[in-house]
Amino acid sequence: MNRSLPKKLSLYIAFPLFLLYSLELISGYYHQFTVFSIVFICIELCSIVLFIQFPYTGSIIIIILWITAVSIKPVLPYSFVFAGLSATVILGYINIPSAISILLFATSILFFQPHTDKSALVMFDTTFLTLAIIGCAIRLHQNQKRAINQLTIHKWKEEIAEELHDIVCNDLTYAIHQINLLKNENPNSQRNPEIAENMALLDIRDSLIEALSCSRTAITTLRKDDGSCSTSEIDITTINIIELLEQERMKLAKAGFDGIIAADGSDNLTTTPGKSIIIKQLIKEIFGNILKHADPSHGYVITAYVNASTLHISASDTPLLKNSTSKHPQDNATNNQFGNGTGIRSYQTRLAALDGELSASASDDQWTLEAAIPLMDTDHTDGHHSAGRMRIRLD
């Protein structure tokens, strides 16, 4: 069973307890200080600090102090009662068997003490058990809500996967089949004598095959249960940036675009499978935007290099002047490309989640894009790493 709480929640619980203790001591409401009470208060405050980092251990210590105070009955600040009640709820939330074990142990000791009021002991046990059950009920409710959300997401993924399979993949397969028939057709056929030699048609076939492969990969990912990931899925993989850039360059060249590509040391990069997919998609998106929105007479420039385990990609082109307020889709929030969250803007959010960055700037005669993608996952347990950066410059 999970024996932890979110750090923010631990702070939200510990801060009011600190504040309550401080108000009671500073206001003079509690003034009967003794050696025992001073030691007790110091241990209690240290336990609350420990609770922030280790909620399970901190809760147990606070409860033990509470039971000790109930047993000895010294004159203490009333804040220790609220600390004990809160710790009981938290312990029931984290680990209900531990809470019940502490209750049984404390009851067995208090019951045989001569000065113990049996009716008060029954009230204490009832209160303790009720609070622990409330904490456990909160955990069960959260688990149930989480399971319902996961089921809803799973059904949604399954619907998307079925639509991709039944519509997109089948249509792509049919298109590839038809092109293969045309490719294998006799060049001397009276019906279409030049189709077998049409290289542009073969390029379209290759693009369709690649799109079909990506669609099938997406279907497999969508249909995969969240808890079924094996160790092989987090293994590293290699990606050839130079080859990817060259493939896309050739497509633009056939469309009449001349450009400059520089990719030093980017032939075999090591990264995770998930980031490999994002890198490939981003490169295709950049070239796709150049094809749709750049001026072919001015060319384009794309560079890629690796620095400190981070892949840097930059692109620059001259926007194609149109009778609209937008020279490039990245600079117009009302553009249809961004209407459903797709396009370059979506990669700002996706890269920010990976501690990466994407920025874009535009002027009347130039559009530029810069992206930084960490190739390997970063350890965030030390608390000194940011949760990701996202910015866009519109100069």
Residue type, 73: K
Does pLDDT of 340 surpass 60? no
Interatomic CA distance for residues 85 and 87, integer angstroms: 5
Tell me the average pLDDT across 73-85.
Answer: 82
Does pLDDT of 252 surpass 60? yes
CB neighbour list of residue 13: distance below 8 Å, 6 or more residues apart: 5, 51, 86, 90
pLDDT digits (tens, 9 = 90+) for 319-330: 887 554 444 444
Residue type, 122: V
Per-residue pLDDT, 341 = 38
pLDDT, greater one: 341 or 65: 65
pLDDT, greater one: 368 or 201: 368
For strand 310-317 and strand 367-374, is the pairing parallel, antiparallel, or unpaired?
A: antiparallel
Does pLDDT of 240 surpass 50? yes
**Under a CB-based contact definition with an 8 Å cutoff, are residues 318 and 365 in contact?**
yes
Does pLDDT of 96 surpass 50? yes
Confidence class for position 266, pLDDT limits 50, 70, 90? low
Interatomic CA distance for residues 126 and 120, integer angstroms: 10
**Best CATH choice for the domain 237-395 from the list 3.30.565.10, 1.20.1260.10, 3.40.1350.10, 3.30.70.330:** 3.30.565.10
pLDDT digits (tens, 9 = 90+) for 104-122: 988 888 888 777 788 888 9
Task: State pTM to two decimals.
Answer: 0.49
Domain ranges of the chain: 7-116, 237-395
